[in-house]
Amino acid sequence: MAKYLVTGGAGFIGSHLAKALAAAGHEVVVLDNLSTGRRANLDDATGRLELVEGSITDLDTVERCCRGVDCVFHQAALPSVPRSVADPIASDETNVGGTLRVFWGAHRQGVRRVVYAASSSVYGNTEELPKHEGMPQRPLSPYAVNKCVGEMYGAVFNNLYGLGTVGLRYFNVFGPFQDPQSQYAAVVPKFITSFLREEAPVIHGDGEQSRDFTFVANVVEANIAACGAPDAAGGRSYNIALGGRISVTDLCLKIRALVGAQVMPRYDTARAGDVKHSQADVTLAREQLGYVGTVDLDEGLRRTVEWYRARAASSGQGS
């Protein structure tokens, strides 16, 4: 049994990870300021789990939470490309300043490794597909810049300070507990909840943009694999996805069929800072981390639709 810290552990991805670690019998500390995370996301947690309400931008709080910890899973962020376009200062303060404090606090407390959430947004718009880790970073938004800087700090802390760091470049993660009500919500929960209400979901742009949508269980698997990977895996980032891609329109129609809805999506203007196509080459993660990605897109969508349908039924909404 080990002790772990999950920053942002009351959020979408972080709560899945924290609960998986706790269910395995580990001691888990969650640090979350609850700005986007929710206590309710941890209600069904098992094992030993402590929630500390605080911010990654407060170094004292970070250091206190890092005491006695073997590995930090750094999931906390101010997410969303559109949010960063609207308020780049706030994004930088959390995503860059907060990440630096997590690395520094972990180093000062003798933590062995930090596995941190990077992002596929660092690649920007490149014609080459699938995207591989050797490609140049071409960020198109402040959020993507934040993630680029986080990776550079990760490499420096690995190589200069000896803090083992592993970055995971997530590609469009979806699954239960993702908030569909946020202004910046991802498309999967928005599509599902709209179809459950027989309301037409909105697709921004022409719908031909494509993504490597990745079920959250695969991301949890990747984090745990990265924690246990050899020291040689540190100091760099790895793509975490399934290695496929689907257009947003086709994804929307898949969800429509799973829900059994009658309405069709409607189209609106494209969003600033969005990339056109995204697909991951996950070879390096498989070779260096032992990542597999066991839940495919169709199964992930089925599980996710079931979860939102049950939630809608319990609240008296939807079909």
Domains of the chain: 3-173+215-240 (3.40.50.720), 187-210+244-279+295-315 (3.90.25.10)
Q: What angle do CA 222, 139, 62 make, to 5 degrees?
A: 55
Beta carbons of 28 and 68 less than 8 angstroms apart? no
Q: What does the pLDDT read at residue 37?
A: 94
> How many residues comprise the chain?
319
Candidates 203, 213, 265; CA nearest to 242 is 213
CA dihedral (167, 57, 49, 103) positive or negative: positive
Distance CA 93, CA 106 (A): 19
Q: Which residues are catalytic?
A: 143
Q: Is the peptide bond before 130 cis (omega within 30 degrees of 0)?
A: yes
The span from the CA of 275 to the CA of 140, in Å, is 8
- What element of type H or E holds 52? strand 48-53
- pLDDT the model gives residue 314: 86
Q: What is the pTM of this model?
A: 0.94
SS3 286: helix
* pLDDT value at residue 317: 60
**Average pLDDT per consecutive 10 residues, the chain (319 residues; last block may be shorter):** 97 97 96 95 86 98 98 96 94 98 98 97 91 96 97 98 98 94 84 97 95 97 98 98 97 98 96 87 98 98 98 74
Q: What is the pLDDT of residue 319?
A: 43
User: What pLDDT, on a 0 to 100 scale, did the predictor assign at position 221?
Assistant: 98
Integer Cα distance of 203 and 191 in angstroms: 9
